[in-house]
Amino acid sequence: MTFDILFVIIIVLNILFAVTIVFFERKNPTAAMAWLMVLFFLPPIGFFLYLFFGQNYTRQRMFVVKREEDRRFLQEIFLAQHREFADTRYRFAIPEVDEFREAILLLLQNNRAFLTGKNRVDLYTRGEDKFDALFAAIREARHHIHLEYFILNNDELGRAVVHALAEKALEGVEVRLLFDAMGTRAGGGTQKAFSELTDAGGKIGVFFPSVYRVNYRNHRKIAVIDGTVGFIGGFNIGDDYLGKGPLGPWRDTAFRIAGQAVQMLQLRFFLDWHYVTGGYPGPRPRYFPAPGDHGTTPIQIVSSGPDTRWSPIKEGYIKLINSARESVYIQTPYFVPDESVTDALRIAALSGVDVRVMIPCKPDHPFVYWASLSFIGDLLDAGVRAYTYDNGFLHAKTIVVDGKAGSVGSANWDVRSFRLNFEANAFFYDAAVGAELARAFKEDLALSTEITLESYRARSRRVRMKESVSRLFSPLG
């Protein structure tokens, strides 16, 4: 096949892709125009970009069964709690719940994200602390261990986790490990790497084995032990998350939860496990034990992905921003917001709210990094304050509002997390937890450099060009 014939075939396919984008996909206009420009002005490159990153037309068909089964499992609980929150005369014992009632109702209606109480939350910002707690919980497991991670690397930490799981499986503990095919394979974690676990009787599930598709990945980071202890946050499993990778020290955020919210993490795990393996052990008491009274923190576990009609986590972020009266502190490795998020932050800052955004000082994905700086620059005029974290790599995905409510989880502040990946966050309403998260943010300020309006305007022409090119490609998805 000559080059001319191949080029003609690519042009024809690009035209078909363009027709699909315009008439069959429900992309927002900005993303649609970006894809059309790439397909027509960069034909060969655009063809391969769309092949790997686009093709949203099949999304609803691919995940319609998952969406309907999720709704069926959750419908009965939803109806009962919705009546409670829709009644504005009802008052709650926790003042933060009344203060953020509208945000809670939004997430309940949008995502069947039930409000749970009597939770105790432990906050971790260092990998050593988080994984020490995870290993301790695994060692204490008596009935089951359920792990769901985007990345489980075949390195020292990854092998230690697999070995710990295998030991518990040999003791008769039920072990289920769910990982994303693309994320884990990138770290050398093939099914062969988990043979110790499967030989011991543990079960593994591989989410979306089509590794050539960059979209629709399971980006969640969830662990549930005996239905009584749960973990959620930004840490994957690998040496990088202990600061032993090329990016150096690692700053992340995770919650250890004991209480009613663990049942929601358990349900989230089972819904994903059922989608991957077809198996669902059912709502048996040993998987959903009575949670007990561990604390007072109200929590909603919020999920989003291509199987959700809207963008629940993003809309939860926006509602929290709109509810702020004093401060909004955000940490994220990737800051590529859409117009709705940008407007919410700008309006909050112009209204006198102390809005601060922290991103890494170094990129792990250069295009996303330069695009992040571009979007940061748009907000400086409105009074938003921005910082680059200088002590290694910042991977936390958090927001805390007025030191009273916020979110910790796997969702970044970008289009991929908002619309394309499967994500899970814990939204909390508790001044004690909020104060702890705000304190961690302020401590990080001492290790950061502020991006002032003057310094941003003084950036070099080369940096401006990188930002412009990266921003051009940012809507693709």
Reported as half-sphere exposure (CB side, CA atoms, 13 A), residue 228 has a value of: 15
Residue 123 tokens read as 């906050």
Within-domain flag for 304: no
Give me the catalytic one of 70, 226, 252, 338: 226
Within-domain flag for 110: no
Q: Is there a catalytic annotation at residue 402?
A: yes
C-alpha 336/C-alpha 371 separation (Å) is 7
Residue 7 tokens read as 């080029």
In this structure, the answer to whether residues 321 and 419 fall within a common structural domain is yes
Give the domain extent around 408: 312-473
H/E element, 29: helix 29-41
How far from each other are the two terminal CA atoms of the chain, in whole angstroms? Answer: 31
In this structure, the answer to whether residues 270 and 316 fall within a common structural domain is no
Within-domain flag for 32: yes
Give me the catalytic one of 395, 414, 430, 466: 395
Q: Is there a catalytic annotation at residue 129?
A: no
In this structure, the answer to whether residues 144 and 14 fall within a common structural domain is no
Query: Looking at 270, 297, 324, which one is the last position of a domain?
Result: 297
CA dihedral sign of residues 44, 47, 51, 52: positive
Beta strands at 354-360 and 335-336: parallel, antiparallel or unpaired: unpaired
In this structure, the answer to whether residues 342 and 438 fall within a common structural domain is yes
- Tens of pLDDT, residues 101-112: 999 999 988 878
In this structure, the answer to whether residues 275 and 385 fall within a common structural domain is no
In this structure, the answer to whether residues 122 and 268 fall within a common structural domain is yes
Task: Specify the pLDDT at position 433.
Answer: 98
Q: Is there a catalytic annotation at residue 118?
A: no
Query: Looking at 297, 330, 353, which one is the last position of a domain?
Result: 297
β-pair partners for 405: 401, 429
Q: Is there a catalytic annotation at residue 293?
A: no
Beta strands at 335-336 and 413-414: parallel, antiparallel or unpaired: parallel
In this structure, the answer to whether residues 270 and 203 fall within a common structural domain is yes
Contact present, 207 and 268 (Cβ < 8 Å):
no
Within-domain flag for 317: yes
C-alpha 88/C-alpha 392 separation (Å) is 46
Phi, psi of 387 (to 5 degrees): -140, 150
Give me the catalytic one of 144, 146, 219, 404: 219
Within-domain flag for 79: yes
In this structure, the answer to whether residues 126 and 209 fall within a common structural domain is yes
- Tens of pLDDT, residues 371-413: 898 999 999 999 999 999 999 999 999 999 999 999 999 999 9
Distance of CA 104 to the CA centre of its chain: 19
Give me the catalytic one of 397, 414, 430, 466: 397
Give me the catalytic one of 130, 221, 294, 314: 221
In this structure, the answer to whether residues 354 and 411 fall within a common structural domain is yes
Q: Is there a catalytic annotation at residue 219?
A: yes
Within-domain flag for 94: no
In this structure, the answer to whether residues 239 and 358 fall within a common structural domain is no
Q: Helix, strand or coil for residue 113?
A: coil
Within-domain flag for 100: no
The domain total for the chain is: 3
Task: Specify the pLDDT at position 85.
Answer: 55
Contact present, 394 and 363 (Cβ < 8 Å):
no
Q: What is the CATH number of the domain that holds 237?
A: 3.30.870.10
Q: Is there a catalytic annotation at residue 365?
A: no
- Mean pLDDT per block of 10 residues along the chain (477 residues) reads 55 55 50 55 54 51 56 55 54 84 91 89 98 98 98 95 98 97 74 89 89 81 97 97 95 97 92 88 82 91 90 97 98 95 98 98 84 92 97 97 98 92 97 98 98 92 81 61
In this structure, the answer to whether residues 196 and 215 fall within a common structural domain is yes
Residue 340 vs residues 32, 95, 99, 215, 336: alpha-carbon distances, Å: 17, 28, 23, 22, 12
Give me the catalytic one of 180, 252, 307, 402: 402
CB atoms within 10 A of CB 56: 22
Within-domain flag for 12: yes
Closest C-alpha to 232, from 187, 165, 299: 299
In this structure, the answer to whether residues 7 and 130 fall within a common structural domain is no
